[in-house]
């Protein structure tokens, strides 16, 4: 395959950004066509896809997971295709913080025999080296390297010892803090950790939260159930309006961050389907107080579990739902289920959260009839 018109630093063998040769208009048109085709049953309530200005469509990724390979002299970091690591040291989609951190570490880490590095995970100011070993030496860590990383914007450096790295990136144990605090603060004052997921284009993400909030209309007469709540960015919205809220999230780190980011919210750790009994108890208490139930949900690519969908339509029965989806395919299936139970789709707003890629996110707004 011949790849042309690439940005400087873009490796033509990297397959991560499938829209990298498209103009902004071509990329958005293809995404709009894809979601309209996938969600054609509701094409009458579609809004045009929202993106950012051209210069913001590059160098925006501050959180990445890169595979590593020792070439005999230096470490190579990039995407993985089968057993080959495709180097992307100057990726034009990555933020300069990411590219510079990769450059610093490539020549400063020990060779593979001493330090079997599998992946490097950068989450903004938090950097984690995942090593395929039960323990790892830190003799190589010098004050010079620490200063270089800090000067580049890395607040915290971790080693995560995980002999099974590849099947799963992270395990519960094996964490070594080399320097810095366990958590960092982003530019908006939200706490996050080394494994936290955060949307890359905060401008678009906050725009989607604004639209969700405008539709849900949380006030003193309502409560919000926030499923797959992550580190609590959406939960803070409801708490700032003094609206009673409950969030559910599987990650222990994310729950700890949510407790700080959305103080006063009720939090449940675990999968949403396994927390249905606690959610039911909380919802019943709110209904007893004559509160109206609202739902905000941001599930993973697989969508909401069947048990959760059943609970929504038969127990919680929220008056309004704001559903942020990263998969139009699973969103279509979930919307079909919800509309079979007296819910009407009032609008679908697509967002270009990941420019240069084929990914597109949609905010679906539903109301119970």
Q: Sketch the domain layout of the chain as residue ranges.
A: 63-192, 202-368
Cβ neighbors of 264 (< 8 A, separation 6 or more) are 239
Tokens found for residue 272: 């949403």
Question: Residue 326 catalytic?
Answer: yes
Using one digit for the tens of pLDDT, what is the confidence trace for 241-280?
Answer: 999 999 999 999 999 999 999 999 999 999 999 999 999 9
Output the pLDDT for position 166.
84
The beta strand positions in the chain, using DSSP E, are: 63-70, 75-81, 84-87, 117-123, 126-131, 156-161, 175-179, 184-185, 191-192, 222-227, 245-249, 266-269, 292-297, 320-325, 343-351, 361-368
pLDDT band at 2 (very low <50, low <70, confident <90, very high): very low
Return d(Cα 218, Cα 224) in angstroms, integer. 7
CATH topology of domain 63-192: OB fold (Dihydrolipoamide Acetyltransferase, E2P) (2.40.50)
Q: Which residue in 10, 17, 91, 326 is the catalytic one? A: 326
- Give the class (CATH, top level) of 202-368: alpha beta
Same fold, 63-192 and 202-368: no
> What are the b/e assignments for 291-303, b being 16+ CB within 10 Å?
bebbbbbbbeeeb
- Whether the CB-CB separation of 52 and 81 falls below 8 Å is answered with no
The mean predicted confidence, pLDDT, of the chain is 96
Return d(Cα 308, Cα 34) in angstroms, integer. 27
Mean pLDDT, residues 115-123: 97
């Amino acid at each position: 395959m011949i790849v042309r018109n690439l940005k400087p630093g873009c490796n033509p063998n990297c397959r991560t950004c499938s829209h990298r040769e498209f103009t902004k208009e071509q990329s958005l048109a293809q995404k709009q066509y894809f979601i309209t085709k996938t969600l054609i049953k509701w094409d009458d309530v579609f809004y045009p896809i929202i993106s950012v200005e051209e210069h913001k469509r590059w160098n925006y990724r501050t959180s990445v997971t890169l595979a590593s390979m020792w070439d005999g002299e230096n470490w190579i970091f990039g995407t993985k295709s089968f057993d080959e690591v495709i180097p992307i040291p100057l990726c034009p989609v990555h933020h300069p913080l990411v590219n510079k951190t990769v450059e610093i570490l490539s020549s400063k880490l020990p060779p593979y025999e001493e330090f079997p590095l599998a992946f490097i995970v950068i989450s903004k100011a938090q950097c984690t080296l995942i090593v395929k070993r039960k323990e790892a030496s830190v003799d190589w860590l010098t004050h010079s390297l620490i200063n270089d990383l800090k000067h580049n914007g890395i607040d915290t450096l971790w080693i995560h010892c995980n002999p099974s790295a590849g099947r799963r990136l992270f395990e519960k144990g094996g964490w070594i803090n080399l320097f810095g605090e366990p958590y960092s603060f982003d530019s908006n004052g939200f706490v996050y950790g080394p494994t936290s997921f955060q949307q890359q284009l905060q401008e678009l993400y906050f725009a989607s939260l604004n639209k969700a909030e405008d539709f849900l209309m949380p006030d003193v007469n309502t409560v919000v159930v926030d499923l797959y709540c992550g580190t609590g960015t959406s939960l803070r919205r409801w708490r700032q309006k003094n609206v009673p809220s409950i969030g559910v999230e599987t990650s222990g780190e994310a729950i700890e961050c949510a407790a700080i980011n959305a103080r006063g919210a009720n939090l449940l750790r675990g999968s949403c389907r396994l927390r249905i009994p606690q959610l039911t108890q909380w919802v019943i208490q709110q209904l007893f107080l004559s509160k109206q139930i609202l739902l905000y949900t941001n599930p993973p690519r697989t969508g909401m579990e069947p048990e959760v969908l059943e609970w929504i339509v038969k127990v919680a029965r929220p008056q309004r739902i704001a559903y942020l989806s990263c998969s139009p395919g699973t969103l279509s299936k979930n919307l079909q289920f919800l509309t079979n139970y007296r819910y009407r789709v009032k609008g679908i707003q697509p967002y270009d959260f990941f420019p240069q890629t084929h990914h597109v996110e949609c905010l679906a707004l539903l109301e119970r009839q």
